[in-house]
Amino acid sequence: MHILRPLILPCGASIQNRIAKAAMTERLAGRDLKANKWHLNLYKKWADSGAGLLITGNIMVDRRYKESSGNIVIENESGLKELQTLTANGLRKGNHLWAQINHAGRQSTIFSTFKPIAPSAVQLKRIMLFAKPRAMTIEEIENVIDRFVSTAVICKKAGFTGVQIHGAHGYLINQFLSPKTNLRTDDYGGSIENRSRLLLRIIRKSRVELGPYFPISVKLNSADFQRGGFNEDDALYVIEKLHDLKIDLLEISGGTYENTVFLTKRIERESTRKREAYFMDFAEKIRKHTNIPLMVTGGFRTFDFCEQVLKNKELDMIGFARPFLNDEGFPSNFVNGVSKKVQDANFNFKIKKLADFAEAGFYDYQIHQIAKNKPLKPNYNPYLGVLRFTKNELLKGWF
């Protein structure tokens, strides 16, 4: 089976199979923003699942600008002991465990800050959850670069076997990449060469500090799916530069909080429906330009299709996220033929403006069930999910 073959990365590291648990925000940290016993249980369970690669949910580089009130934040080594215990549990079966490193920028909710920063003062239009950001100074940009690098170094010291720089989904790096959110006229705005400068400088400095043999991955949008936003031509330019920097794995996704393509099951193109996964059309274009090991997350539901794209060398890794929260036997049931098709959770929620809250709360609940060593609950009420999401963010963020 191609899905069980090892993958050798450009840096020389070997991943034991082609199954990746993609990042899902965990919202498990307490007020101290450190790893805790719930993280240990969660990653112990996922290490036992048989996936070759586990990528954490958002680990933030700055406590002022979080994606969620329950994020782990690494600004210094104060939580190093807790992280080392997490990695010891998460690496128990010879798999890789990579830290996804992020800065939310303007997508920091009001539960995190009323004064977010961004490349430019362009406010996120999303149910009054996000305050208007102010444009960053050059000094603040330099500080963000240093924070990403410092967090990556601490993650290596903690025992993580790689890092993923989050440059997708509308977070700070993606905000710099997008002409819709980056209106700057200095060296960090205007052309795609300038808009990609932040990401590329983070990777260059990280490689110097982490050394040549430590995996560095990037998560990148194929497009923001917004008029005037980051598009496929921009993405291809960035990927060419990532190729030159010899990153070890490129994960392709898409969308922002204003167009949540990375969360939705809605697939517009007939070709995409036939191809099953969300971003395979763009992955085909990438293959013509680079041999960077490539991973796509989103929409993979049948074993046969996974085998097909790996056999054809269209992808090198298959990313799964929600299947880990819908089937307690995933991915072993999937690989062993017990269930050759991934089952999605089915729930009916009719308030369109709160649908994202309902989904977030639903999957947040499943993650917390695993963390507490309890069974998944596929019939969890999505209306309770809205209340759960709001309450948790409010209590951890403000009280």
Which of 138, 145, 140, 139 lies closest to 208, judged by CA?
A: 145
Quick: pLDDT tens for 143-191: 999 999 999 999 999 999 999 999 999 999 999 999 999 999 999 999 9
Proportion of the chain above pLDDT 70, given as a percent: 92
Model confidence at 298, in pLDDT bands (50, 70, 90)? confident
Which alpha helices (DSSP H) does 211-302 contain, by range? 232-244, 270-275, 280-287
- In this prediction, residue 56 carries a pLDDT of 98
Tokens of 209: 């500090």
Q: Are 380 and 362 in contact (CB under 8 A)?
A: yes
Q: Tell me, what's the pLDDT at 278?
A: 74
Taking the chain, what is the end-to-end CA distance rounded to the nearest angstrom? 51
Distance CA 300, CA 315 (A): 12
Domain boundaries along the sequence of the chain: 11-344, 351-399
- For residue 105 the two structure tokens come to 């920028």
Tens digit of pLDDT for each residue in 91-131? Answer: 999 999 999 999 999 999 898 899 999 999 999 876 678 99
Question: Whose CA is closest to 39, among 96, 391, 165, 47?
Answer: 47
- Answer whether 0.85 is exceeded by the pTM: yes
pLDDT of residue 346: 74
The pLDDT of residue 266 is 42
- Tokens standing for residue 354: 């709160």
The model's confidence at residue 355, banded by pLDDT at 50, 70 and 90, is: confident
Q: Which residue has the higher pLDDT, 335 or 218?
A: 218
Q: Has residue 330 got a pLDDT over 50?
A: yes
Q: Tell me which of 299 and 90 has the higher pLDDT.
A: 90
What confidence category does residue 270 fall into, taking pLDDT thresholds of 50, 70 and 90? very low
The CATH superfamily of 11-344 is Aldolase class I (3.20.20.70)
Q: What is the pLDDT of residues 45-66, one digit of tens each?
A: 999 999 999 999 999 999 999 9
